[in-house]
Structure 1
Amino acid sequence: MPETTVKRVTAADVARSLGLSRATVGFVLNETPGQTIPETTRARVLAEAKRLGYRTNAAARALASGRSRIILLVLPDWPLDYSMRSNLDEASLALDRAGYSLVTMTPHPGGQAQPLWETLRPDVVIGMAPFEADRLKEIRNSGVQHIIPPTPAGEAGSYDDLGYAEGPMLQVEHLLQRGRRRLALATSPDPRVADLVAQRRARAAKTLEERAGSSFLREAAITESNAGETVAQWMAADIDGVVAYNDDIAALVLGAALRADISIPGSLAIIGHDDTPIARLLVPALSSVRLDTAGLGRYLADLALSAATGSAPPAAGPETDAHLVIRETS
């Protein structure tokens, strides 16, 4: 059987069908700015394009309109964990509803790939974390018109704190309310999250000092290989409560404690952070802190859309309220 080729419907086909000029149809289909096309004509063009099965040529549309309708989200070199995936899912959904595509990239130290802000010509480049000054200059020099945040890390206008400070505070306060006074801090050894670990450690330590006038008696980066030995040492030091960096680290502590026949929460209370699905699936179920990570995704999408369309930016910061979820480990 001979091969059948389906001809792509073009703007010229739409113009011919309507008896309009190719220029007029092109202005409508490419959303060319600065053109005064009557609304009735615009509606006819769009309806006929849909009837004929016209598909926009993205490259031509971007060239004509000056907009690619692509939002590039630059991610730090963090693990793609449950919270991050929730952020990205919500941001992608919000942008898709507005007619924009979300593309993500993670620059790696020493990486040789050409940055996507040079190849995609995105309408907006937005960082999950503030850009360093050199990286900000590099993006700006590539021709990107809108960069969020527009200032380097640590300067006014950047967002060094997206509202997640309450989580470690709630962890410490909960254990203190449970009568636990000899607390240990379980952190992550992953160098990619060293900054996040430091932020949560500082907030937790500050809360412990303010509420109880004390400090963490022990601290360790927990791995599968050292969890058992570390927990044994903590129990020998009469540790009665553990604040964990996240639920994965808390699960390692919990597993080591159960294998050592340590009563949970009788002898040792444990609380995680992020309220990931594993927290509900563990036996005993893990107490944790739930964050509205989807709220951050919507906030990032709103920021990007405000820059791309020239509309007003979000009036308030991200909805990142932290909520204590008490289960069986505390």
Structure 2
Amino acid sequence: MPTDAPTRRVTTYDIAKSLGISRATVGFVLNNTAGQTISEATRTKVLQEAKRLGYRRHSAARTLASGRSNIVLLVLPDWPLDFSLRRNIEEASLTLDQAGYTLVTYTPHPSGQARPLWETIQPDLVLALTSFTPGQAEAIKAAGVPRLLPGPDSDNTEAYSDNGPVLQLEHLAELGHRAIAYAGLNDPKVADLVELRLHRAQAAADAMGLRLVRGRSIGLTDGTPLVALKEWQSEGVTAVAAYNDDVAAAITGAALRAGIPVPDDLSVIGIDNTPLASMFQPQLSTIDVDTAGLGRYLARRALSAIQSIPPPEAGPEMRATLIRRASTAPPRKC
């Protein structure tokens, strides 16, 4: 069965041939080359014909002519693409698009068989949500990328400080809880994040004189929440600070199925303020992190690095806030 032949890219030769002028003249007009004595009438004809024929400049040629590709490459850790991370990326992409830049995401995998994307798309800047892994910054620079954020001697802790565990512990302590368990997530992809939040929760507990019980990491679809609940009951735990809302929901659901009233006998609080937290019954107390605002902030930092202008000041998007709902309450009086 016959098929249509692929459409060939329109070139400056096609425009020149159509108008009966030199290819050099077409190139001067399309590149807006300074110092050329080309009449306004000729310039207008070239631009109109280029539009009529559907001419689009080749990205490599455009980059060579301007020194910029208007592409920002975001290198993602190998994390699950959850609700919060998607919002972050979407807002960063929108902010960069409004400034005339395209955001491209790339996740290097441990196997390392594919050619790194920074070697093929000539980005103006390579951006990371966390610090670059050892050797990564050097490889990106060696590929000719002019800018990295964070730089080789800095990190992104300023933009991604995680105060959520501290707010969780403060809220539970204010309610009167003194024996609190920390519930992590048993996904190896986020092991470093789980450990970081646990470390901050432990520091907060120590500062407030609370007993933090280091519970096992929780699976979302297995029996680990129930096993953890039995251990915590034997430890006298009255509240759980969960790594995120998914873990909080898994713990709460397991507690209710086991006949443990939430929040009467067990308070549970998550992090991220995902839609799940408000849809779940009982609705989950959580820590709201403005991931959309952080995405915009990250994009503005990228633009400041590309355009060599002062970086943006951190605003309200940098502050996490407590969302009080039905899953936390003072401990039952014995």
- What TM-score results when the alignment is normalised by the length of structure 1? 0.86
Deviations 1:28-85 (A, max 9, x none): 3xxx7xx4689x96x9576775566443322321232232221111111111111111
Structure 1 partner of 2:161: 164
Matched, 1:202 2:213: no
Amino acid at match of 1:284: P
The more displaced of 198-207 and 248-257 is: 198-207
How many percent identity over aligned positions? 46
Contact 1:94 1:298 in 2 (8 A): yes
Amino acid at match of 2:199: A
Structure 2 partner of 1:270: 268
Structure 2 partner of 1:189: 186
Classify the secondary structure of the residue corresponding to 2:111: coil
Amino acid at match of 2:304: S
Report the Cα offset of residue 236 of structure 1: 3.0
The more displaced of 311-320 and 118-127 is: 311-320
Quick one: which of 280, 295, 298 aligns to 2:296? 298
Contact 1:293 1:320 in 2 (8 A): no
Structure 2 partner of 1:325: 323
Structure 2 CA distance for aligned equivalents of residues 61 and 108 of structure 1: 31
Classify the secondary structure of the residue corresponding to 2:135: helix
Report the Cα offset of residue 182 of structure 1: 1.3
The more displaced of 221-230 and 245-254 is: 221-230
Structure 2 partner of 1:174: 171
For structure 1, the 5+ residue unaligned runs are none
Report the Cα offset of residue 259 of structure 1: 0.3
Call closer, same or farther: CA 1:50–1:324 in 2, change over 3 Å: farther
Structure 1 CA distance for aligned equivalents of residues 200 and 173 of structure 2: 15
Contact 2:215 2:232 in 1 (8 A): no
The more displaced of 263-272 and 60-69 is: 60-69
Report the Cα offset of residue 127 of structure 1: 1.0
The more displaced of 5-14 and 96-105 is: 5-14
Classify the secondary structure of the residue corresponding to 1:158: coil
Matched, 1:145 2:177: no
Quick one: which of 31, 39, 51 aligns to 1:27? 31
Contact 1:9 1:54 in 2 (8 A): yes
Classify the secondary structure of the residue corresponding to 2:31: helix
Matched, 1:105 2:106: yes
Classify the secondary structure of the residue corresponding to 1:174: helix
Q: Aligned Cα RMSD in Å?
A: 2.9
Report the Cα offset of residue 93 of structure 1: 0.8
Quick one: which of 214, 219, 231 aligns to 2:215? 219
Report the Cα offset of residue 219 of structure 1: 1.8
Structure 2 CA distance for aligned equivalents of residues 168 and 46 of structure 1: 58
Amino acid at match of 1:24: F
Structure 1 CA distance for aligned equivalents of residues 264 and 3 of structure 2: 76
- What TM-score results when the alignment is normalised by the length of structure 2? 0.85
Contact 1:241 1:269 in 2 (8 A): yes
Amino acid at match of 2:237: I
Structure 1 CA distance for aligned equivalents of residues 36 and 193 of structure 2: 51
Structure 2 partner of 1:248: 246
Call closer, same or farther: CA 1:323–1:66 in 2, change over 3 Å: same
Report the Cα offset of residue 22 of structure 1: 1.7
Report the Cα offset of residue 165 of structure 1: 2.9
Report the Cα offset of residue 225 of structure 1: 2.2
Structure 1 CA distance for aligned equivalents of residues 48 and 175 of structure 2: 65
Matched, 1:132 2:127: no
Contact 1:299 1:318 in 2 (8 A): no
Question: Across the two proteins, how many residue pairs are aligned to each other?
Answer: 319
The more displaced of 240-249 and 302-311 is: 302-311
Classify the secondary structure of the residue corresponding to 2:170: helix
Contact 2:194 2:243 in 1 (8 A): yes
Call closer, same or farther: CA 1:37–1:264 in 2, change over 3 Å: farther
Report the Cα offset of residue 121 of structure 1: 1.3
Classify the secondary structure of the residue corresponding to 1:216: strand
Amino acid at match of 2:211: S
Call closer, same or farther: CA 1:222–1:53 in 2, change over 3 Å: same
Amino acid at match of 2:129: M
